[in-house]
Amino acid sequence: MLEATLEDLQARALERIRGARSMEELEAARVEALGRKGALGHISKELGKLPPEERARVGRLLNAVKQCLEESFEARRKEFEEEALRRRLEAEWLDLTLPAPEPKRGHFHPVTQVQAEIEDLFTSLGFTVLDGPEVETEYHNFDALNIPPDHPARDVQDTFWLTDGNLLRTHTSPVQIRGMERFKPPLRMIAPGRVFRNEEVDASHEHTFYQVEGMMVDREVSVAHLIYFMKLMVNAIFRREVAVRLRPGYFPFVEPGFELDMQCLLCEGAGCPACKHSGWVEMIGCGLVHPNVLRMSGIDPEEWMGFAFGLGLTRLVMMRFGIDDIRYLQSGDLRFLHQF
Partner 1 sequence: MKFSFNWIRQLTENLHVSPQDLGRLITTKTAECEGVDAYGEHLAHVCVARVLAVEPIGSGRNKKVLVETGRYGLKTVVCGAPNCRPGMVSAYVPPGTRLDGREIGVAVIDGVASEGMLASGAELGINRDASGILELDGEPGAPLPGCEPDHVLEIDNKAITHRPDLWGHHGLAREVAAITGAALREPVRLDLLPEGAAPVRVEIEDLELCPRYSALALENVTVGPSPLWLQYRLQAVGLNPINNVVDVTNYVMAELAQPMHAFDWDLLRGPAICVRPARDGERLLALNEQEYRLDQRDLVIADARGPIALAGVIGGLDTGIHEGTRRIVLESACFQASSIRKTSSRHKLRTDASMRFEKAQDPVNTVRGLARALELLRQVCPGIRVAGGVADAGRPLPVPPSILLPVEWLCRKLGRAVEPAEVTRILKRLGFGVEEAEPGALRVTVPSWRATRDVSIKDDLVEEVGRMIGYDAIAPQAPAVVVAPPPPSPERLFHRAVRRTMVELGFTEVYNYSFVGEEQARRFGMDPADHVRVANPIGTDRTLLRRSLLPEIFENILENSKHYEHFRIFEIGREIHKQPAGLPREIPHMMAAIYSRQGVEDGLMELKRAAEHLMEGCELCPGFSRSYEHPARAGSVVWRGTVVGRLFELHPSLLEGRAAVLDLDLQVMLALQEDGKRYRPIRRFPASAFDLSVIADRRELAANLSRQLADLAAPELEAITYLRQYSGPPLPEGKKSVSFRLTVAAPDRTLSSEEVGAIRARIIEGMRARGYDFRL
Query: Could you tell me the smallest distance in angstroms from the CB atom of residue 13 to partner 1?
Result: 45
Q: Of residues 216-255, which lie at the interface with partner 1 (CB under 8 A)?
A: 216, 218, 220-225, 227-228, 231, 245-250, 252, 255
Q: Of residues 20-39, which lie at the interface with partner 1 (CB under 8 A)?
A: none
With the CA atoms of 58, 60, 64 and 67 taken in that order, what torsion angle do they form, in degrees rounded to the nearest 10? 110
Nearer residue to partner 1 within complex by CB, 99 or 103:
103
Query: CA 170 to CA 86: how far, in whole Å?
Result: 71
Q: Using the rule CB under 8 A, which residue among 276, 298, 321, 324 binds partner 1?
A: 276
Query: Could you tell me the smallest distance in angstroms from the CB atom of residue 160 to partner 1?
Result: 6
Q: Using the rule CB under 8 A, which residue among 61, 160, 269, 320 binds partner 1?
A: 160
- What track of x and - describes contact with partner 1 for positions 120 through 149 (by CB under 8 A)? ---x--xxxxxx-xxxxx-----------x
Q: Output the CA–CA distances (angstroms, integers) from residue 84 to 20, 281, 316, in the order listed.
A: 15, 71, 62
Query: Could you tell me the smallest distance in angstroms from the CB atom of residue 225 to partner 1?
Result: 5
Alpha carbons within 13 angstroms on the beta-carbon side of residue 47 total 18
Q: Which long-range contacts (CB under 8 A, 24 or more apart) does 78-81 make?
A: 80/22, 80/23, 80/26
Helix (H), strand (E) at residue 140 = helix 138-141
Q: Of residues 292-321, which lie at the interface with partner 1 (CB under 8 A)?
A: 305
Nearer residue to partner 1 within complex by CB, 38 or 252:
252
Q: Using the rule CB under 8 A, which residue among 183, 236, 266, 272 binds partner 1?
A: 183
Q: Output the CA–CA distances (angstroms, integers) from residue 134 to 36, 90, 116, 147, 159, in the order listed.
A: 88, 63, 19, 19, 13
If one asks whether residue 90 binds partner 1 (CB under 8 A), the answer comes out as no
Query: CA 40 to CA 46: how far, in whole Å?
Result: 10
CB 236 within 8 A of CB 242: no
Q: Using the rule CB under 8 A, which residue among 73, 142, 253, 258 binds partner 1?
A: 258
Nearer residue to partner 1 within complex by CB, 153 or 266:
153
Q: How many residues does the chain have?
A: 340
